[in-house]
Amino acid sequence: QVQLVQSGAEVKKPGASVKVSCKASGYTITTFYMHWLRQAPGQRLECMGIIKPGVGSTKSAQKFQGRVTMTWDTSTNTVYMDLSSLTSEDTAMYYCARARYGGNQIDYWGQGTLVTVSS
Amino acid sequence: QSALTQPRSVSGSPGQSVTISCTGTSSDVGAYNYVSWYQQHPGMAPKLMIYDVSKRPSGVPDRFSGSKSGDTASLTISGLQADDEADYYCCSYAGSDTSLFGGGTKVTVL
């Protein structure tokens, strides 16, 4: 049974960084790509980037280039997303999601991690 | 790349059918048969309902169906039930490892 379990909620000050983890179970992370997405309150889902552990690469969306770092640890079957230089506009629910199907379509989602940026 | 366009809301009575449209361009929806649909109840993570335009994952009722014509994809919910009340998002592959989402449609069961 596939599960993606994310780390808990975070409260950060403007200018700080946040690191969110996503531990996969029921499969090996090198088998499929993994998306990172976010959803600000009342807003649409937004893709931040994609991790390809089996290939050894990542690709971030243009909007987040230079601010987002995506990594993985095969020993713990966990992927990570680090977002720096936070502003209030980064307050959102952050999701990891497995890309199983063609065109990187998502089948499973993590439960979400709420990141609040406030002074 | 712009996001995909969905109606903000649709509604129907129990047992009726509703259809949600998702309009993109010839570079995303029109170019690839990689359109997926997700159901999101308040406070919950999204759930996959349709992938590859019209395929249903195991466990999704056949009341949910997907289609595509040109640059517009559609999700139809037949035999509307109370539990279908949720937000629905479409997503399309747009090439170069890029995926675009729609703005979401709130389905209300009257």
pLDDT, tens digit only, all 110 positions of chain B = 568 999 999 999 999 999 999 999 999 999 999 999 999 999 899 999 999 999 999 999 999 999 999 999 999 999 999 999 999 999 999 999 999 999 999 999 99
State mean pLDDT over A80-85.
97
Nearest to A39 by CA among B14, B20, B89: B89
Nearest CA in chain A to B29: A103
Contacts of B54 in chain A (CB under 8 A): none
Q: Do A104 and B51 make contact, defined as CB atoms within 8 angstroms?
A: no
Q: Do B48 and A107 make contact, defined as CB atoms within 8 angstroms?
A: yes
Chain A positions with Cβ closer than 8 Å to B? 35, 44-47, 50, 59, 61, 95, 97, 101-112
Q: What is the pLDDT of residue A75?
A: 95
Q: Do B3 and A107 make contact, defined as CB atoms within 8 angstroms?
A: no
Q: What is the pLDDT of residue B1?
A: 59
Q: Out of A61-65, A68-72, B60-64, B106-110, pick the least confident.
A: A61-65
Interface contacts (A, B; CB < 8 Å): 63
Q: What is the pLDDT of residue B30?
A: 96
Q: Out of A35-39, A42-46, A104-108, B5-9, pick the least confident.
A: A42-46
Nearest CA in chain A to B55: A101
DSSP B84: G
**How far is residue B108's CA from residue B110's CA, in Å, rounded to a whole number?**
6
**How far is residue A76's CA from residue A118's CA, in Å, rounded to a whole number?**
32
| A118 exposure class (CB count in 10 Å sphere: 0-12, 13-18, 19+) | exposed
Contacts of B34 in chain A (CB under 8 A): 101-105
- To test the contact with chain A by mutation, choose from B4, B22, B68, B97 the residue with the greatest count of A C-beta atoms within 10 A, namely B97
State mean pLDDT over A59-70.
93
First-to-last alpha carbon distance for chain B, in angstroms, is: 35
Q: What is the pLDDT of residue A22?
A: 98
Maximal C-alpha separation, chain B = 41
Please tell me which residue, A98 or A55, carries the higher pLDDT value: A98
Q: What is the pLDDT of residue B61?
A: 96
Kindly report the nearest CA distance between residue A113 and chain B, in angstroms.
10
Nearest to B22 by CA among B7, B42, B33: B7
Question: Smallest Cβ distance to A112: which of B45, B101, B102?
Answer: B45
State mean pLDDT over A31-47.
92
Q: Determine which helix (DSSP H) or strand (DSSP E) holds A80, and give its type and residue range.
A: strand A78-83
Q: How, if at all, do strands A10-12 and A113-117 pair?
A: parallel
Confidence band, pLDDT 50/70/90 cuts, at residue A42: confident
Confidence band, pLDDT 50/70/90 cuts, at residue A20: very high
Contact (CB, 8 A) for A102 and A89: no
Mean pLDDT of chain A: 95
Q: Do B45 and A95 make contact, defined as CB atoms within 8 angstroms?
A: yes
State mean pLDDT over A102-107.
92
Q: Do B48 and A47 make contact, defined as CB atoms within 8 angstroms?
A: no
Identity of residue B33: N
- Both tokens of A22, joined, read 């996503």
Buried b (16+ CB within 10 A) or exposed e, A51-88: bbbeeeebebbeebeeebbbebeeeebbbbbebeebee
With 80 as the cut, is the pLDDT of residue A83 above it? yes
